């Protein structure tokens, strides 16, 4: 059983997935910094010096000047500013992935069916659907 697990874990797809997850986690910290430190401050300044992370609605617990103050007081809040930040992060990541996939597709079209295409055969189910 250990040998079967080892063979499974060392297959190319599993290792590729692990590398992708690690790179994705590292990329997330870069995107978070990009959004929080580079994009949101000028955007907030452009619309009057507003900090999006402090956009919130207090449902229970009074009125507070900042989200941190509301959280410290234990107030129940809807943090729509943090949601806006998350949406911007998602758009940036989605766009970066789009550019990456677009470049990979372009390189595959240029390479045709050379060594890169032959290096990794398609899974049997995919090959059956692709080659009738």
The mean of the pLDDT values for the chain is 79
How much is the pLDDT for 76?
A: 93
Q: Of 33-37, 42-46, 70-74, 123-127, which gets the smallest average pLDDT?
A: 123-127
Output the pTM of the full model: 0.56
Q: Which domains does the chain have, with CATH numbers?
A: 2-112 (1.10.1200.120)
CA–CA dist 81, 105 (Å, integer): 36
Compute φ and ψ for 51, nearest 5 degrees: -100, 115
pLDDT for 49-72, tens place per residue?
Answer: 777 788 999 998 889 998 999 999
Average pLDDT over residues 82-106: 85
């Amino acid at each position: 059983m250990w040998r079967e697990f080892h063979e499974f874990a060392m297959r190319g797809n599993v290792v590729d997935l692990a590398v992708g997850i690690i790179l994705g986690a590292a990329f997330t910290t870069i995107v978070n910094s990009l959004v929080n430190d580079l994009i949101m401050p000028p955007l907030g300044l452009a619309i009057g010096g507003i900090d999006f992370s402090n956009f919130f609605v207090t449902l229970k617990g009074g009125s507070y000047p900042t989200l941190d103050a509301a959280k410290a007081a234990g107030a129940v809040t809807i943090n729509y500013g943090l949601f806006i930040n998350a949406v911007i992060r998602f758009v940036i990541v989605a766009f970066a992935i789009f550019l990456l996939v677009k470049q990979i597709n372009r390189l595959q079209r240029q390479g045709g069916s050379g060594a890169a295409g032959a290096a990794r055969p398609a899974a049997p189910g995919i090959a059956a659907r692709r080659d009738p």
